[in-house]
A and B are shown apart, each in its own frame.
Chain A
Amino acid sequence: MEFQSYNMPDELYYEPNHYWVRQEGDLLVMGMDDFARKLAGQIVFVQLPEEGKAIKLGKKFASVESGKWLGKVYAPVNGEIAGVNEELETNPGLINQDCYGAGWMYKIKPDDLGEVQNLLHGTEAVQKWLAAEIEKFAKGA
């Protein structure tokens, strides 16, 4: 789906702080969405937690930086870190280049795979949310 110049693939699930989630077998893959990527500018640092780190739904578990901007990454589900994109350690700009592909950030082993259904999903829901976000950030929130 393309909405107001933002590319938001339909098959993905979205965490409200602008991270996407995709199911891959028993794991979830997570990365930054196109809206956040464009807002953040050139990414210069991605915190890559150790595998096995427990994450709790809605709690911050990592950070991302671009110049003076610092973004917090919140857990989309309960679970643990199963893997990280080590390429980002020396090339965080992969997020800018390909946020849905080579710029993926984390793999998560969820406690309950069903929790992913609580995230934003589907054209209608994503469009409604994104429209509100665009308006909010246009006002300088």
Chain B
Amino acid sequence: MEAKYDFERKYREQILRCSRCGFCQAVCPVYGATLRPGLNARGKMLLLKEVMDGRIDLSNELIETLFQCTTCASCTHNCPSGVEVSEIIKVARKDMVDIGSCHPAFTGMHDVLLHHDNIYAEDEAEDFGRGKKATARYVFFAGCVGLYRETEATEAALGVLDKLGVDFTLIEEACCAGVLEDVGFPMNDKLVETNIERILATGAEAVITGCPYCARTLNNKMQYAPLRAKGVIIMHIAQFLKDYDLGLHTDKKVTYHDPCDLGRHCGIYEEPRQTIRKLAPNFVELPHHHADALCCGAGGGVRGAYAKNSIDMARRRLKEVEEAGAEVVLTECNSCVHNLGNAKLRKQKFTICTTTQFIHDLMEEAE
């Protein structure tokens, strides 16, 4: 029988390969917050198998399970059968959107990006009190969260680059648009073209992003191939800073939260630690770290669509910060900072910020 949906055409063999062992359940942040087996990877694979077998069909009833995934890739990383769950979910979401079944938050995000250049439908981005240079060696790409939500983190990153004497500029950036594909829509070509055109216009040799998701999108999506074809290198600021000897020091007990987009998705674990260990000899790992790190709960559109569960996932992560006894938790993702910051209880007295912001504050103290 001919497959009805793309997810089956592309991933039938992988879905059948799921042995229902449940290793994914042990690491799924959505399951951890909800304790609902239908929401972990095994549950999702079973439902998709039912669709392939014709026992159920894709419909609005599957929105809650298929659209409630942070795409953190913990399941993929821990799957002994090698099932690429995040990729399967993305294609299944596209199939859902094609039949008109989508979470309203994601339909809303898609519609917003038809008329705005950012996911929040904000009219004006923060300009950080600086103009845009016509040309520069580097472009700093802040991302939507960095421009509209975690502006202090972005301001600090710009301040660090200034203090290091880096020749860089901001551009009138648009949303990188990667999130659209994650939630089942095609990437918005207009936004992509705007970014490519404006980055190339500066003559920059590299783009430094404040957001690991933007770095992934610019580095991996074929829509950004014209940018890469011009030789422009894309890196996250953690990669840019790792070789600097900043000459800074703190006695504080510092820990690090691996963002899924930088860690499991890009394999970048050591660069941030290299920088942090130089500043903070009193560095401790969280109970789950590197590829086993717990997700903050913000990814895959879950922060927007299932905010309460998203905050619950962040609170699980913050309990680990308490267990580690850290005074400062650093991370490399503005979305993680935002969600962990929203979830932090008043009795939890540790600080949450990006590594770059921490560096910036230490630089200011040293001056």
Contact = CB atoms under 8 A, between A and B. Distances in A.
A23 interface: no
B311 A68 contact: no
Interface string B117-135: 0011100000000000000
Across the A-B interface, the 4 shortest Cβ-Cβ residue pairs: A44-B307, A45-B342, A68-B304, A67-B304
Interface of A: 42, 44-45, 48, 50, 65-70, 86, 89-90
B345 A70 contact: no
Given A67-B305, A68-B109, A89-B345, A44 B311 contact: yes
B105 interface: yes
A61 to B, nearest CB: 15
B220 to A, nearest CB: 25
Contact of A48 (B120, B148, B149, B346): B346
Interface residues of B, number: 17
A42 B346 contact: no
B311 A45 contact: yes
A52 B101 CA distance: 49
Contact of A65 (B109, B305, B342, B346): B342
A45 B312 CA distance: 12
Interface string B144-162: 0000110000000000000
B308 interface: yes
A120 to B, nearest CB: 25
A44 B342 CA distance: 9
Contact of A44 (B119, B120, B308, B346): B308
Nearest to B120: A68
B307 A66 contact: yes
Contacts of B148: 70
Contacts of A48: 346
Given A44-B307, A44-B311, A68 B345 contact: no
Contacts of B346: 48, 50, 86, 89
Contacts of B108: 68
Given A48-B346, A86-B346, A89-B345, A68 B308 contact: no
Interface string B97-119: 00000000100110000000001
Contacts of B308: 44
27 contacts: A42-B307, A44-B307, A44-B311, A44-B342, A45-B307, A45-B311, A45-B342, A48-B346, A50-B346, A65-B307, A65-B342, A66-B307, A67-B105, A67-B303, A67-B304, A67-B305, A68-B108, A68-B109, A68-B119, A68-B120, A69-B120, A70-B120, A70-B149, A86-B346, A89-B345, A89-B346, A90-B345
